[in-house]
Amino acid sequence: MAGVSTGKGRFMGEINVVPLVDVMLVLLIIFMVTAPMMVQGLDVKLPETDAGALKQDQELLMLSVTREGKLFLDEFPVEVEGLADKIKNIVARKPGTRVYLRADKDVAYGTVVQVLAQTRKAGVENLGMVTEPEKVPAPKKKKKS
């Protein structure tokens, strides 16, 4: 078995971990810098209300409508015409799936009504609406005299 000579005719028995630590630190920095860039999502400005948070104990199906009127089923783009069939298939495979609608506050009302009609056509009886929490202004601090 070949080993590393120390110059005095003896072999060194320890593993040099300094290069390993250097490589790991470089990889850590690369992942820390690139991780925030990999976040994907849809830019939807939701209306603000004081409703509570969603319970995450059940399977959720999220319908999103962007400001431009584009429709997404979870993160996949869909057309309004075929939406009822897709929702019906998903709910049939996973009974008890809850359907929620996220619509941009600036989207046309007619687009939201079409999406609601398609979900009703798919047999969804309860459609949840997703909103942003209402922004409450912070209390003003009294100045001490």
Residue 33 has pLDDT above 70, yes or no: yes
67-119: pLDDT as tens digits: 888 899 888 889 988 888 988 888 888 877 888 888 888 888 888 888 888 88
Q: Which of the listed CATH numbers 3.20.20.10, 1.50.10.100, 3.30.420.270, 3.20.20.70 matches domain 48-133?
A: 3.30.420.270
Read off the pLDDT of each residue in 14-21 and give the average, rounded to a whole number.
Answer: 88
**Least reliable range by pLDDT among 32-41, 53-62, 73-82, 91-100:** 53-62
Is the pTM higher than 0.85? The answer reads no
Task: Report DSSP letters for the chain, one per residue.
Answer: ----B-SSS-B--S---HHHHHHHHHHHHHHHHHGGGG-------PPEE---PPP-SS-EEEEEE-TT--EEETTEEE-STTHHHHHHHHHHHSTT-EEEEEE-TTS-HHHHHHHHHHHHHTT---EEE--EEPPPPPPPPPPP-
